[in-house]
Amino acid sequence: MAGRPEGGALAKASQIMVALFLRDIRLNIRAGGGALTGIIFFLAVIATIPFGVGPDLKLLARIGPAILWIGALLSCLLGLDRLFQADREDGSLDLLVLGNDRHMLALTVLVKCLAHWAGSVLPLVIAAPLLGLFMNMEPLAIGATALTLLVGTPAITFIGAAGAAVAVALPRGGLLISVLVLPLTIPVLIFGVSASYGATADPDPFLQPFLILAALTLFLAVVGPVAAALALRHGTD
Amino acid sequence: MRLIAENLGGERGGEPVFSGVDFALAQGQALIVTGRNGSGKSTLLRVVAGLLPAAQGRLLIEGGGEDFPTVAAACHYLGHLNAMKTALSVTENLRFWRDFSGPGLSSVDEALDTVGLGGIGHLPFGYLSTGQRRRAAIAKLLVSQRPLWLLDEPTSGLDKASEARFSALMTRYCEGGGMILAATHLPLGIAGAKELAMRVGH
C-alpha cells in the first residue's frame, strides 16, 4: 500500500487538508463557471458605473477605489451559496461533518474557504487592476486597491462561510446569504477603501487602515470557520 | 469492540420517529434494520452516526481505544446519496476519501476491482449508471479501514450479480471482525445476521 501516512499527527492533518484543497480547486475548475461568473459580474458592475456617473474623469478617478471594492464585494457574495450546498446535495457534507472527530470541522471549513478564495475570488483580485483602468485610476491607486483587495477579500469569504453554513439547508439560500453577510462585511469595506485612498490622498495614512484590514482578515479566519462549523454541525438533518 | 444502544429514541423536526430501541453489536456481527417506509430506519442510522442528536437514551462504543473514541470516528456511513463528485473521475473521488478518512486494506484500484468496476476508474463519476455509482460508493467503504459500517439501503440500484458480490463482501467483512448496521427492506444475504424490526411508533 503506497502513500501510507507516517510521522506526526500534524503531517497527517496537513496531508488531509491538502487533499481537500486540491479536490475543491479541481471541482472549481472542472465543474466550471464559478470564477468566470464572478469576473463577468465584476466587469458588468464596473463597466456600468462610468455610464451612470458621466464622463467626469476626475470624479471617476476619485471614486475608483470605492467602486472597485464594492464591485469585488458583490462578486464575492455571488458564489458563496455553493460553498457547502454542492457538498450537501451529493451527501459529501455528512461525511465531512462525521470527520469532525479526526480533524476539527472548523479546519475543514477553513480549507474549503481557502480553496474557494483561490478558485473564485483570487481571479477577481487579478482582474481588478484592469478594471481600474475603466475608472481612470492612477497606477499607484490601482496598485493600492489591488493590494487591499488581496488582503481583505479572504475576510469576506470567511464571514460568508458562516452565512453559507447557516443557509445550507435552504433551497434558495443565495440571496439570504448576501443579506446576512453584507452588514458584517462593512468594516472590511471601510478599512479596505480607506487604505486604498490613503495611498494616494496625501494627509491620509495608508499603513494604519491597511494593518487593521490585515488584522480583520486574521481574526475572521478564526471566527468565521468556527461559526460555520457550529452551524453545519447542528444543521444536519 | 462493541456498539451498544440503550433505549434509543430519535425525532425529526420535533416529531418522535422511534423510541425505545435497544441493541448490542459485537465484532463480527451484523444487524439488519427492517421496517416499513417511515418507520425510522434512516433516522436510526443517522442518530447512530451522530448526524442527528438522540432524542432519548444513549449510544456508546466500547473498546474503541484511541483510534475510534466515538461512533462517528469508527463508522463508515453510506447514506442514500453516494457522496461522490460527478465532475471528478471515480479514482479521484476514491483517492480523496481515502486521504480524508485514512488508509484502508485495499488500494483504490483493488477496491474498484472488488466491486467489479476495474478499468473504468478514469471515467468521470457523472458518466456512470445508477448501479455503477452505487458500486463506486461501496468501493469507498474499502479504501479506508473502519470497524463499523452503517449502510442505508446499500443495495438500491444494484443488479442481482452485484447484490451477490456485495453480500459476499459484507460476509467477509464480518468474518474479519467488522460490524454492520444496515437499514433495508430487501434481504442482504449476510450469513448469520440478526434482525431489528422497526414498527411505526416503535
A200-214: pLDDT as tens digits: 887 888 899 999 999
Q: Please give the domain boundaries of chain B with CATH numbers for all domains.
A: 2-198 (3.40.50.300)
Q: What is the pLDDT of residue A4?
A: 44
- Exposed / middle / buried, residue B165 (Cβ in 10 Å: 0-12, 13-18, 19+): middle
B99 touches chain A (CB under 8 A): yes
Q: How confident is the model at residue B137 (pLDDT cuts 50, 70, 90)?
A: very high
DSSP A9: H
Residues of chain B positioned with their CB less than 8 A from the CB of A101: 69-70, 72-73
Residue type (1 letter), A98: L
Are B89 and A98 within 8 A, CB to CB? no
Percentage of chain A modeled with pLDDT above 90: 55
CB contact under 8 A, A99 and B100: yes
Q: What is the mean pLDDT of residues A97-102?
A: 83
Record the cell numbers describing residue A39, joined without a space. 469576473
Which residues, 6 or more positions from B46, have their beta carbon under 8 angstroms from its beta carbon? A236, B10, B52, B79
CB contact under 8 A, B86 and A90: yes
| Nearest of B4, B48, B49 to residue B23 by alpha carbon | B4
Give me the residues paired with residue B151 across strands: B78, B182
Which candidate from B73, B95, B96 shows the least CB-CB separation from A102? B73
- Render pLDDT for B27-51 as a digit per residue (tens, 0 to 9): 888 899 988 888 888 889 999 988 8
Residues of chain A positioned with their CB less than 8 A from the CB of B81: 89-91, 94
Q: Which helix (H) or strand (E) holds B195?
A: strand B194-198
- Render pLDDT for A155-204 as a digit per residue (tens, 0 to 9): 999 999 999 999 888 877 788 888 889 999 999 999 999 999 998 887 88
DSSP A102: T
Tell whether the model's pLDDT for residue A2 goes beyond 50. Answer: no
- Rounded to two decimals, what is the model's pTM? 0.90
| Nearest of B43, B45, B26 to residue B181 by alpha carbon | B45
Chain A closest-CA separation from residue B46 CA (Å): 8
Angle at B23 between CA B19 and CA B29, to 5 degrees: 145
Residues of chain B positioned with their CB less than 8 A from the CB of A96: 100
Q: What does the CA dihedral A149, A152, A153, A157 come to, rounded to 10 degrees?
A: 180
Residues of chain B positioned with their CB less than 8 A from the CB of A89: 81
CB contact under 8 A, A98 and B99: no
Chain B closest-CA separation from residue A161 CA (Å): 20
Average pLDDT taken over every residue of chain B: 87
Q: How many cross-chain Cβ pairs, A to B, lie less than 8 Å apart?
A: 80
d(CA A41, CA A33): 12
Chain B closest-CA separation from residue A141 CA (Å): 40
Tell whether the model's pLDDT for residue B191 goes beyond 80. Answer: no
Residue B29 has a CB neighbour count (10 Å cut-off) of 20
| Nearest of A155, A169, A13, A162 to residue A87 by alpha carbon | A169
Are B196 and B34 within 8 A, CB to CB? yes
CB contact under 8 A, A91 and B75: no
